[in-house]
Chain A
C-alpha cells in the first residue's frame, strides 16, 4: 500500500521569507503523480502544484516550486516570498493511474503553515 509521510506537523515562517515543507512517500509503482493541496480555514481543498513522476524537471507555479527526488521518494514544497494568505494546512498527496482509470489520492497528515507578519 502506498503511504505519504509529512514529518512536520507545523511550520512557522516570517512574511516574505522562504519555507520548505517536506514530504516522503512509499510506493512500488514507477508511474504516478504527486500533488500539494492547500486547505485554508474555509476548509476548501485547493491544488497548489502537480508533478508527474516521469518528468525529471521540477514543477513550478509562481512562488511555489517542488524538489522532486524520485530515487529518494521525496517531494518537498518550497514557498518563496511567503504571504499572509499562504497560511493554511498543506497536504502532500500521491496518485497512481491504473489501466482502469484514475485511482484515489492518498494524503499525508498535513503541515500547518503559520505566517508571522
Chain B
C-alpha cells in the first residue's frame, strides 16, 4: 500500500485566498483525522471522521475551516479565506475504527500564507 497520500506537499498562497488540502487514506481504513502542527501549539486534532461521517470537529479553529469526506478514499480540508496565522503543517492520518490500532500519517502539507 502507498500509505496515506496528501497533496500538495507545499502550498504558498496569499492572504484571503481559498486553500484546499487533499488526502487519500489507506485503503480499508475507516477513520480519518486532520491535524495541524505549529511550533507554538504542537499537534492539534482538527476533525475526525468515522465511516465518512464527521464525529468531532471541536478542534476546527474557526468557521473559515471546513472538512469533507465524500467517500471512503478521499477527504479535503478547506480554508476560506486564508490568513497568515493559518501557516502550519497539516497532517492527514487514517486508521481502522477499532481498539489498539495506531494512526498512519501522511507526509503533511506545509502551508504558508503570506
CB within 8 Å of B: which residues of A? 33, 35, 42-45, 47, 50, 52, 91, 95, 97, 100-110
Tell me if B42 counts as interface (CB < 8 A to partner A): yes
Q: Contacts A44-B107, A103-B56; is A33 near B42 (CB within 8 Å)? A: no
Q: Is the CB of A91 within 8 A of B96?
A: no
Q: What is the distance, in angstroms, from B42's C-beta to the closest C-beta of chain A? A: 5
* 6 residue pairs bridging A and B, Cβ less than 8 Å apart: A43-B89, A52-B99, A97-B98, A97-B100, A102-B99, A110-B43
A-B contact number at CB 8 A: 64
B112 to chain A, nearest CB (A): 14
- B103 adjacent to A105 (CB under 8 Å): yes
- When the two chains form their complex, are residues B108 and A43 in contact, meaning their CB atoms are under 8 A apart? yes
Contacts of A107 in B (CB 8 A): 42-43
B23 to chain A, nearest CB (A): 14
